Chains A and B, each alone.
Chain A
Amino acid sequence: MTHPRNPGTPLDTSLFAPVNRPATERRAASMVARRSLKGAHQAAWLLNAIACMDLTTLAGDDTPDRVRRLCAKARRPLSDAVFAGLGLDAMPHTGAVCVYPTMVATAVAALGGSGIPVASVATGFPAGLMPLDLRLAEIRYAVDQGAQEIDIVITRAHVLGGDWAALYDEVAAMRAACGKAHLKAILATGDLMTLRNVYAASIVAMQAGADFIKTSTGKEGVNATLPVGLTMCRAIREYRALTGHIVGFKPAGGMKTAKDALNWQVLMREELGRDWLRPDLFRLGASSMLADIERQLSHHVTGRYAAHHRHALA
């Protein structure tokens, strides 16, 4: 951490701002066409994406062995040959590993000594429709198991019903339950639908003390999109301008390619600046994206297009 945690502020809906969807979509489309990354620069940005990645498994068929395999990949995301070809000082590792609460202990053990934190979803992920006391208890359980980061889901009904105080109180209570663990607030933007809702929910989550705001669970119909990300980044920027507090951003879900990794980083660099390309302020919630990044890096090193089966599974 290079910055103090966001302490939050009282609820203040006057920070809400209108969001124009067509204009937001135009900016999202042109922004990624305005920047190009080639050669070594592209390779470096892809490595940075690995360092900012929450390598994730959140499936009903997760088992301890599956989680251990993921952790192994998080520790050694690249083959020795690719690693050597890139001329790096040390093997990179992912920003975190993200799992369900019952898998936290397994992940913590598997990552021992690596310095890679374990993130856990909680609060009745993905829908969040459980009694609040159970959701808070789930946070405490995950923290107790060793999770350093908690990805909570908000109650979408509070946003859709405009009950901002309820949303604020809920996230504030979750933040309190997290203690020293960092709170990432999943807004489930695919459920909120309008960019106005996304902006408002972002502001309330930050005012309630979220360390990160995050787009999606990966389970909504639409997950991370650049216009949604742009809207959330603008909320982060405005919140910082008005309060001085710094909040991170995590797109998650639906991002599968190395090109996605570059596009999202361009968004961060253009809208929020270089600091938001560090893992303490930026995470990519992804699973299959890592494999594509590895293939692109392999191509950079060898000049040959790579095949999935020649790289280690996550």
Chain B
Amino acid sequence: MPTITEILATMEYGPAPESETLARDWLTRGPFGHFINGAFTSPSALFEARNPARDAVLAEVSQGSAADIEAAVQAARAAFPGWSGLSGHDRARHLYAIARQIQKRERLFAVLEALDNGKPLREARDIDVPLAVRHFYHHAGWAELVAEEFPDHGPHGVCGQIIPWNFPLLMLAWKIAPALAAGNTVVLKPAEYTPLTALLFAEICVEAGLPAGVVNIVTGDGETGAALVAHPGVDKIAFTGSTEVGRAIRRATAGTGRALTLELGGKSPFIVFADADLDAAVEGVVDAIWFNQGEVCCAGSRILVAEAVAQTFESRLRARLASLRVGDPLDKSTDIGAIVHPRQLARIRDLVARGVAAGGVLHQGTAPEGCFCAPALMTGVAPANPCVTEEIFGPVAVMMSFRTPDEAVDLANNTRYGLAASIWSENLTQAMDIAARVKAGVVWINATNLFDANAPFGGMRESGFGREGAREGMAAYLRPMAAPVAAKTPDPIAPLPQQAQGEGIDRTHKLYIGGGQKRADSGQSYSILNNGTLQGHAPLGSRKDIRNAVEAAQKATGWTAMSGHARAQVLYFLGENLQARRDSLRAFAPAPEIDTAIARAFYYAAWADKFDARVHDTQSRHATLAMKEPFGAMGLICAEEAPLAGFLSLVLPAIAMGNRVVALPAQGNPLAALELAQVFACSDIPAGVINTVSGPLADLAATLAAHDDVAALWCAQPALAATLEHDSAGNLKPVWQVTDPLAQGQAFLNAATQIKTIWVPYGA
């Protein structure tokens, strides 16, 4: 230890280690079993929970087997009636008790988290634990209010939840708090690398007097998680982790009727304009990618800087990089701790090496020997560099420059992901414009990595679907209580020729694509029969027609840019024209259906400018906006019943919110929908907003499901659910199973929009 006089010469900070005695004492309770039905099981099939910073064993925990999952799901199932039967107020008392109990042991939680994960104690202490506590308080409130605020909704039942290793306790809170508030019971699997705070949380549940079986925690690796996903007794799966595993879960749960939310990877842009407070933006990068060792799904890992300030920004960033302290997570002066596991460190190094091989220039700080990664900045990269396209999940950012705001948006959106974005400009006019155009579930203006229990968090594109936090997050743990309406499956396609029945001039219905009536690419039609009587011929669409229709929908961006009022005008006009053509439409649909269609047009015109964004109360002097954005190009698989009203019941809410759609009308009777082409055209609906493709529904739907440029899918054909959900895994588009395709209501509008949370801190 240097003397005071020696320290005065160097003015070094010196060591400031947090005591680990509390955590060490607690760890002596190991080896740990699972927490099932309110008690710990006997430890078995042990594996090690390790401290990555010191390459040492912390405790032994149990590898969960299928039998353990079975026991946990059964316990959760048994506890469900009692828990969901409690009043909201009684559930609120439990959640409140959990929050208080965590606070009473906050130091232990923080130290244990730092030991197990390798993150700096400061972050565990100042960020992870307080946010987790806040989450339970916030959701104690939701338990109190859920019946009042979500009428006609109830819990799913048993929720299977799988969480990652980067924020073990916080992700546990994000999963468990809303699930319990809504009345669900839970089986949670913490990450293999970081099971310890979840086990401590299990003790908290006992201390807080939570009924046995409401929360069950099974530790283990990916196999344990797979067993949980595969268990038929689970009603909802919530997963946070890699896009790769998310895809596998999507496929595994396809067609099971289980609800699913996914919070996956990201490669989030960090956009710095020339008029930004550059020093603030430099600290933003520190909070973005040099936070939690860069092991952050929403990390701003792609820095995009205006050319005018690129050199200045790079030099300031490199200077800042040099002042980061990498080392002992328990030292209170550490900025960057240990990487969670040597395997993760190897992945980071491998990816960085590939980036360098592809021409990237690495500017790196220093780090101690062991499982540590020096923070780094990579310049000289092109958009195809693997370090630009792939999530590194380490403290390495790439940097590119842009010339104009448009180019910034193009670069920002040039990714499969859509989790977060950070925008730096002192010009709010410009910043809000970019916020509106960037594809991301969360946008921070002049800030980054701000979180709050009352701010919805979640991704677009391959970053997943569903939101966590706030009202929107609660919705993910509730389901409508009404039972699904039984659906008719289509009869087989009837080939040509059939005996002609009509008189006069032949009417050839065509596909409606890009505002024009198009022949099917196959050059074929099929017969539309009603009780064996020929009603007409419909074009036999194929995958190429779907391709063309999606292209047309993609191009019709003007519709999305219109105001809700302007879209309402078009929908009212459509209603007017439906009324005017009521008699001619009678040839294709019964009168009540036409009336329903007209009513739908009015109903969704009414909503078009009223399905408002919310402003969430998060922190003082922060406007936290939850915008409701359309997906863009959607695929709609309509019901076989009610060929006209059923078609418009799906199309109208989707387009009212600004989506452009490729709609597959009833296979057995698409004529009414195809006939509408003329009405659409004269109602000022722009080309490409509605595209109608008739034909073999299952094939066409599968093409839509597999299409990477279709952002969301609605399915009113339950028989197709399994295939569509499976095939949707390609780009992880959400698939909404429409339970009552002839209904109207806000459920349709919710399914037609995705939340973009925009944080706008302010202060003169």
Contacts and interface: CB of A to CB of B under 8 A. Distances in A.
- Real complex partners, A and B? yes
Interface of A: 17-27, 30, 33-41, 43-45, 47-48, 86-89, 193-194, 234, 265, 269-270, 274, 277
Nearest to B4: A44
Contact of B333 (A18, A34, A44): A34
Contact of B14 (A24, A27, A40, A48): A40
A40 B283 contact: no
Interface stretch (B5-13, B135-143, B377-385, B455-463): B5-13
A86 B4 contact: yes
A22 B122 CA distance: 21
A207 B94 CA distance: 62
Contacts of B10: 274
B279 to A, nearest CB: 5
A20 B424 CA distance: 10
B351 interface: no
B14 A18 contact: no
Contact of A18 (B3, B5, B276, B763): B276
Contacts, number: 99
A113 B3 CA distance: 28
Interface in B624-682: none
Given A20-B426, A23-B761, 13 more contacts: A17-B279, A20-B280, A20-B446, A21-B764, A22-B447, A23-B446, A25-B763, A34-B333, A40-B2, A40-B14, A41-B7, A47-B4, A194-B764
Contacts of B287: 26, 30
21 contacts: A18-B275, A20-B277, A20-B446, A21-B764, A23-B280, A23-B447, A25-B763, A26-B287, A30-B126, A30-B287, A33-B122, A34-B333, A34-B335, A37-B14, A40-B14, A41-B13, A41-B16, A45-B11, A47-B4, A87-B5, A193-B764
B447 A40 contact: no
A45 B16 CA distance: 14
Contacts of A89: 5
B732 to A, nearest CB: 33
A274 B11 contact: yes
Interface of A is mostly: helix
B473 interface: no
A35 B121 CA distance: 12
Nearest to B622: A22
A77 to B, nearest CB: 15
- Taking residues whose C-beta sits less than 8 angstroms from the other chain, chain B's interface range is 35 or more
A27 B12 CA distance: 21
Contact of A39 (B14, B122, B283, B761): B14
Contacts of A47: 4, 8
Given A37-B16, A44-B8, A17 B763 contact: no
Given A22-B621, A34-B122, A35-B333, A41 B12 contact: yes
A235 B13 CA distance: 25
B323 interface: yes
A236 B14 CA distance: 27
A110 B13 CA distance: 36
Contact of A17 (B4, B278, B335): B278
Most buried by A among B1, B279, B281, B323: B279
Contacts of B15: 38
Contacts of A193: 764
A18, A22, A87 interface centre (most CB from chain B within 10 Å): A22
B121 to A, nearest CB: 10
A26 B447 contact: yes
Contacts of B122: 33-34
A266 B485 CA distance: 65
Nearest to B450: A26
A44 B446 contact: no
Nearest to A85: B4
A21 B277 CA distance: 10
Contacts of B4: 40, 43-44, 47, 86-88
A27 B283 contact: yes
A228 B591 CA distance: 72
Contacts of A33: 122, 126
A40 B11 contact: no
A70 to B, nearest CB: 24
Contacts of B281: 23
A26 B422 CA distance: 15
B13 A24 contact: no
Q: Which of A36, A39, A89 is the most central at the interface, judged by chain B CB atoms within 10 Å of its CB? A: A36
Interface in B746-762: 761-762
A23 B11 contact: no
A18 B426 contact: yes
Contacts of A17: 277-279
Contact of B11 (A19, A30, A88, A277): A277
B232 to A, nearest CB: 47
Nearest to A297: B4
